[in-house]
Copies of this chain bind each other. A is one copy, B any other.
Amino acid sequence: MNFADAVCQVVKEKGPLMVGLDPHPNLLPPYLVHKWFKEKGETLEALAACVLEFNRLILDSVSPYVGIIKIQMAFYEMLGVPGMITLKHTLEEAKKKEMLVVLDGKRNDVASTAWAYAWGYLSGISWGEDKDWPPAWEGDALTITPYFGEDGLWPFFQEAEKNDKGIFVLCRTTNPSASFIQDEGKNEKLFIKVARLVERMGKTMKGENGFSSAGIVVGATYPDDLEFLRKEFPSLLFLVPGVGAQGGKIDYLNKGFREDGLGTIVNISRRVIFAYREAIDTDGWGFEKKAQEQAVFYQNALNQLRL
């Protein structure tokens, strides 16, 4: 199925919440870290095994209520080869549960290298005339960065379209210094120019719901821009990060939805997966239950906004 249609289906069935698996090691439940340190020594292997068990428990717990997850690749890469093995297994777990997975890698390069990223994350590799392998890291979509302009983006668009995958191009980021590049521009602000480029390049990737499988990242911390972009680009899917830890307020997000309540998925990471930390001095037992409560809370709140 076209990626944008798959997203719309999940939003209709469950809602627009996307849970971010950003396993910051110092926020993991201490009881779980100590268990793995005991098992495997105080090593990156132990931390990676801990992250995998953490992710499995979170996925078991939230998957009845949430249909999309985002995997923040930085937190897996930082654990080295063991972290990449955990990433691979996390992808497999999410797929077993039929969740949509966005790999948040913010990759970018000149075309000849961008192809390699696109093969690795979206479409798979070929060798010679008759050998093919599926993508080594098979999620449903990948986030990418537009600093190279059109030709650096092109391989991602082409391989995504070929393989019914999605891409989200960084447009308006959540952070305080986002304006440094994104508000520049001679004729219009650069983040708008980027959105326009994505709309044009992704025209052929539209699904039955009218959205393209090439979407953009728009931070919850800039609600006016969110409103403007929705009006200007009705066919673009929005991935909206920045609610919670980064200061974005959920109430404004109604501006991201199309009239029918589709078109935006909202990522929340720490406020869900590390919800257990609201209790003081906790060792983290039962963290998955707290995560589930928060996932249900945010999913309901977002569904109320969009309908």
Contacts and interface: CB of A to CB of B under 8 A. Distances in A.
A146 B148 contact: no
Contact of A150 (B75, B126, B180): B180
A32 interface: no
A75 B116 contact: yes
A296 interface: no
- How many chain copies does the complex carry? 2
Nearest to A132: B42
B22 A113 contact: yes
Which one of A43, A175, A176 has the greatest number of beta carbons of chain B within 10 Å? A175
Nearest to A50: B127
A147 B181 contact: yes
A85 interface: yes
A78 B119 contact: yes
A149 B74 contact: no
A93 to B, nearest CB: 16
A109 B186 CA distance: 25
A147 B147 contact: yes
A216 to B, nearest CB: 13
A106 B174 CA distance: 19
A57 interface: no
A109 B74 contact: yes
Contacts of A149: 175, 177-182
Contacts of A182: 147, 149
A142 to B, nearest CB: 11
A245 B147 contact: no
Contacts of A88: 80-81
14 contacts: A24-B112, A42-B131, A72-B116, A74-B120, A80-B84, A81-B81, A106-B107, A145-B145, A149-B177, A150-B180, A151-B175, A152-B173, A152-B175, A185-B185
